[in-house]
Amino acid sequence: MRKRALATLIVSAFIGALLFCSNAGAKDDALPAWNDGPAKQAILDFVKATTAEDSPQFVPPADRIATFDQDGTLWVEHPIYTQAMFALDRLTALAPVHPEWKTEEPFKAALAGDREAMAKFTEGDWAKIVAVTHTGMSTEAFLAIVRQWLATAEHTRFKRPPTELIYQPMLEVMAYLRANGFRTYIVTGGGQEFVRVYSDRVYHVPVEQVVGSSIATTYEVQDGKPVLMREPKIFFIDDKDGKPIGINLFIGKRPVAAFGNSGGDREMLEWTGAGDGARLMMLVLHDDAEREYAYGPANGLPDTKVGTFPQSLMDEAKERGWTVVSMKNDWKRIFAQ
């Protein structure tokens, strides 16, 4: 009996030592999809500075908050945002019961797939499309609709579901930060409920760590059961200045790291950078037309209306010492799968 207990103890110690070694090994290669260079080094240096117990810039685990934009930062946003794909597909699915859309704009152009007209859609046009595709049902029904759509949706160029067009290097950064005690939040201009459908499965980000744009809901009792109904009314836009506002509202702590890729992320990075101590602000630059897309117009890249990275943002990044990630040069591999 005593011998057996002893054996158990020794085996436990041995397994413990093995686990320790494998962890130490993993740590050396936490970012395998990143090429060596200043971007990768900035991540490694930041984590070391904020987590080493003897570091003057040590951040207590409770304050280790990292925020990530989604579209163009974690997954593909061209040629159009995934949620716009969803809205257009939903419009098509609903068209048979809405014959009036055949003559009514913006529905007519959207249903016809008129890219030229759609490129000129105003925010008001998109709001009309969002109203008929995203509201009028309970939150539970909406989640089910998105889930069902994601099961068959396919990207026009890559012929794969949007949830597979996730950037492997960013997944590695998220996992590396979490392994070092950070909590990773998604802070997106996209719909909060939309992203919550797959955030856990795809990014290992639980729904309560998704901050996004939202529409108003009302509490109703239907057939004796309470439901939250989605109303055709915007409640909060989590973009541009809405990002620091949303972060303060939902998290209540200033992030120590923030990742974005467009003008919509400028204020989030400014807000993050304005705190004391070590900070990591990163912007993904889409400069890889071959493996993904190339757009700016910063650095002379082609201009775009989707995920615009203006030259003024590039200038601000340089001035403030934010790290710009070149997809082409810094990423060994683009997609997770």
Residues 134-163 that bind its own copies (CB under 8 A): 139
1, 28, 29, 62: which one contacts its own copies (CB under 8 A)?
62
Distance CA 218, CA 323 (A): 42
Residue 323: strand, helix, or coil: strand
Distance CA 308, CA 265 (A): 10
* Rg value, the chain, Cα: 22
225-236 sheet: strands from edge to edge: 225-236, 210-222, 183-191, 65-68, 257-260, 280-285, 323-326
Closer residue to its own copies in complex, CB, 267/287: 267
* 57 in contact with its own copies (CB under 8 A): no
Closer residue to its own copies in complex, CB, 13/289: 13
* 180 in contact with its own copies (CB under 8 A): no
The distance of closest approach from Cβ of residue 272 to its own copies in the complex, given in angstroms and rounded to an integer, is: 10
Tokens found for residue 146? 């998105």
Residues 219-278 that bind its own copies (CB under 8 A): 219, 221, 225-226, 228, 235, 241, 244-245, 248-253, 267, 270-271, 274
* 10 in contact with its own copies (CB under 8 A): yes
| Residue that has been written with the tokens 């974005």 in this structure | 260
- What's the Cα-to-Cα distance from 198 to each of 22, 209, 259, rounded to whole Å? 30, 12, 19
Closer residue to its own copies in complex, CB, 169/242: 242
**Residues near 112 by beta carbon (within 8 Å), at least 6 away in sequence:** none
The per-residue DSSP string of 216-275 comes to EEEEEEETTEEEEEEEEEEEE--STTHHHHHHHHHT-S--SEEEE-SGGGHHHHHHHHTS
**Identity of residue 310:** P
* 9 in contact with its own copies (CB under 8 A): yes
Other CB atoms within a 10 A radius of the CB of residue 206 amount to 13
Residues 186-205 that bind its own copies (CB under 8 A): 192-193, 196, 200
The site that binds its own copies (CB under 8 A) totals a number of residues, namely: 38
* 279 in contact with its own copies (CB under 8 A): no
What secondary structure letter does DSSP report for 104?
S
The distance of closest approach from Cβ of residue 228 to its own copies in the complex, given in angstroms and rounded to an integer, is: 5
* 309 in contact with its own copies (CB under 8 A): no
The distance of closest approach from Cβ of residue 273 to its own copies in the complex, given in angstroms and rounded to an integer, is: 9
**Identity of residue 198:** Y
The distance of closest approach from Cβ of residue 140 to its own copies in the complex, given in angstroms and rounded to an integer, is: 10
Q: Which residues bind its own copies (CB under 8 A)?
A: 5-6, 9-10, 12-13, 62, 139, 192-193, 196, 200, 206-208, 210, 214, 217-219, 221, 225-226, 228, 235, 241, 244-245, 248-253, 267, 270-271, 274
